[in-house]
Amino acid sequence: MNAAAGQLAALGVAVTVPAIGAVLARVGPLAPVARIVGIVSGVVSALAALVLVAMWQAHDGSPTAWGDSLAGGSLVFIDGLTAMAVPYVALVFLAITVAAPRRTLDSESVPRLLAGSAGTIALMGTAHPVALVILWVVTALPTWSGTRSAQGGGPAARVYALAMAAATAFLAVGVVLLVRDPPWQPGSGPVGNVGGWLVAIAVMMRKGIVPFHSWYPALYSGGAFGAALAATMPHIAAATAIRLLVGHAGGVSAELVFLAQAALVTTAYAAALAVVQRDLRGLVGTLALSQSSLVLAGLAGTLPTELCGALAVWISSGLSLTGMGLVAWSIESRAGPVSLETLQGRAADAPTLSGFFLLFGLASLGVPGTLSFVADDLIVSGSLDDRLHAGLLVIAGTVFAGIAVLRGWVRVFGGPAPAHRPPHPILPRERLVFTSLMVVLLVLGLWPGPLVHSLEQIAGSLVAQRGSDTPLPAGNDHPHR
């Protein structure tokens, strides 16, 4: 088996195993043990993702393309972005499946998680414009269904459905115009430019960028916690922006610059909102919105350092906020909705959860020794070198986020506990997930060399595409192998 065939096989396993698991967990004799099916499917998918990374790095690093091609975008496309995003997505979904409270995972919720995992991994492995549109729908449906089925989740589901429907419609029309009049080709007209702007608006909606951010806190506050994490942590909109907008002729496209500016504002604005949240869900949701916006903000950077930082934030913020969200979900499953308006004193009955919440919160802020320290250093250094106001907004967002994390931790875990409150020890599966996520963040933070080197290669290829005389969209400058 040659390298290209091995990569295609590994990606195929990472996608198809969760898809098959979704069916087995929903119908048939395995439905009563849906959680076990979900965990086994997630483990196999994660192992296949690691094999994909190993094969891609052992090869010469050139992309592998297969299948139908439209506007140069191949149906299956494996490059550095795919090798980075697929194991990350598999790990996030596996962590949610293992750590979720027992009563939240049944023969309906597990298939939704597995279907979302399969669709998201497939999206990371394609550059085909039509496939991207279809996979936007595929990845949104499980979140909408899970939110609607949650107790009191009807309003949040309606807000989410409206936002995703509008975003997908803008993306579909934008893709049609881009294919009809590709702006990366010489002699293109205004039709393709309009298509690029429609895609940019769609990315803003799907990413929750101001002023299209209302669905983001609504999903966290009113929907299922697991569905919210699964919908926001994989950075689907950022991946789509890379595939469809990076290769515009003439350097960095105006759409990407606009997206970056709006994302920077969102980073600082959402972090400021996190400071005044009244409940734990709202805190996690606004912090997730702030941190995830940094990924999109770095995509318009003209320096490899800034792009490398954006990709590092993709991983660091996702893993740390997934850990924080899962800890918050664990607390809520034991104590019900958690208010931030008064001291709750949860450290007395849940000391281990208190420690993990603080660790994940600090890991999201760039504390030395964690991956976010490396990521924030890269993106802030690149931003200050390239755009002073961008660096200042990133710093402002980090300061507000730090205040919000410490305030949230003190309000949830500080203060005296009622004498009659029962203890809430951490469960073994929770300890396994939280420890594993923390170990990954620490190992990549203390020994960042291999990861940063890989991210530098990805960032360098993006900058090279922009700087060439006849740049092409990401994912279509390599022939079929």
Query: DSSP string of 161-204?
Result: HHHHHHHHHHHHHHHHHHHHS-TTSTT--HHHHHHHHHHHHHHH
pLDDT reported for residue 245: 81
Half-sphere exposure of 437 (CA within 13 A, CB side): 37
**Which residues, in sequence order, are CB contacts of 218 under 8 Å at separation 6+?**
155, 156, 159, 160
Q: Is 389 a residue whose pLDDT tops 80?
A: no
Helix%, strand%, coil% for the chain, nearest 5: 75, 5, 25
**Average pLDDT estimate for 220-237:** 90
**Average pLDDT estimate for 429-455:** 91
pLDDT reported for residue 426: 92
Residues 407 and 346: their CA atoms lie apart, in Å, by: 14
Tokens standing for 386?
């390239």
Q: Is 475 a residue whose pLDDT tops 70?
A: no
Q: Is 31 a residue whose pLDDT tops 90?
A: no
Residues 251 and 280: their CA atoms lie apart, in Å, by: 42
pLDDT reported for residue 382: 62
Tokens standing for 51?
């094999």
Taking a C-beta distance cutoff of 8 angstroms, is the pair 210, 269 a contact?
Answer: yes
pLDDT reported for residue 471: 37
Taking a C-beta distance cutoff of 8 angstroms, is the pair 120, 91 a contact?
Answer: no
Q: Is 480 a residue whose pLDDT tops 70?
A: no
In three-state secondary structure terms, 60 is coil
**pLDDT single digits (tens) 396-440:** 998 999 999 999 999 999 988 777 778 888 999 999 999 999 999
Taking a C-beta distance cutoff of 8 angstroms, is the pair 184, 471 a contact?
Answer: yes
Bridge pairing between strands 73-78 and 64-70: antiparallel
**pLDDT single digits (tens) 83-112:** 889 999 999 999 999 999 988 888 889 999
Share of residues in the chain with pLDDT > 90 (%):
51
Element (H, E) at 444: helix 428-446
Domain boundaries, the chain: 1-126, 128-245, 254-472
Which has the minimum average pLDDT: 28-42, 50-64, 434-448?
50-64
**pLDDT single digits (tens) 60-88:** 777 888 988 887 788 999 988 898 899 99
Taking a C-beta distance cutoff of 8 angstroms, is the pair 128, 71 a contact?
Answer: no
Burial (Cβ within 10 Å: 0-12, 13-18, ≥19) of residue 81: buried
**Average pLDDT estimate for 182-199:** 79
Which has the minimum average pLDDT: 169-183, 229-243, 292-306?
292-306
**pLDDT single digits (tens) 333-379:** 988 889 999 999 889 889 999 999 999 999 998 888 898 888 877 77
pLDDT reported for residue 248: 44
Q: Report the interhelical angle of 3-26 vs 109-124 (nearest 10°).
A: 160
Tokens standing for 267?
């980073």
Instruction: Give the predicted TM-score (pTM) of the model.
Output: 0.91
String of b and e for 283-300 (b: at least 16 CB within 10 Å)? bbbbbbbbbbbbbbbbbb
Burial (Cβ within 10 Å: 0-12, 13-18, ≥19) of residue 403: middle
Kindly indicate the confidence band of residue 167, based on its pLDDT and cuts at 50, 70 and 90. Answer: very high
Segments in 246-279 forming alpha helices (H): 254-275
pLDDT reported for residue 251: 46
Residues 70 and 273: their CA atoms lie apart, in Å, by: 42
Share of residues in the chain with pLDDT > 70 (%):
90
Q: Is 250 a residue whose pLDDT tops 50?
A: no
Beta strands in 322-414 (DSSP E): none
Taking a C-beta distance cutoff of 8 angstroms, is the pair 277, 270 a contact?
Answer: no
**pLDDT single digits (tens) 112-144:** 999 999 999 999 999 999 999 999 999 999 999
Mean pLDDT, the chain, whole residue set:
86
Residues 291 and 279: their CA atoms lie apart, in Å, by: 19
**Average pLDDT estimate for 32-41:** 93
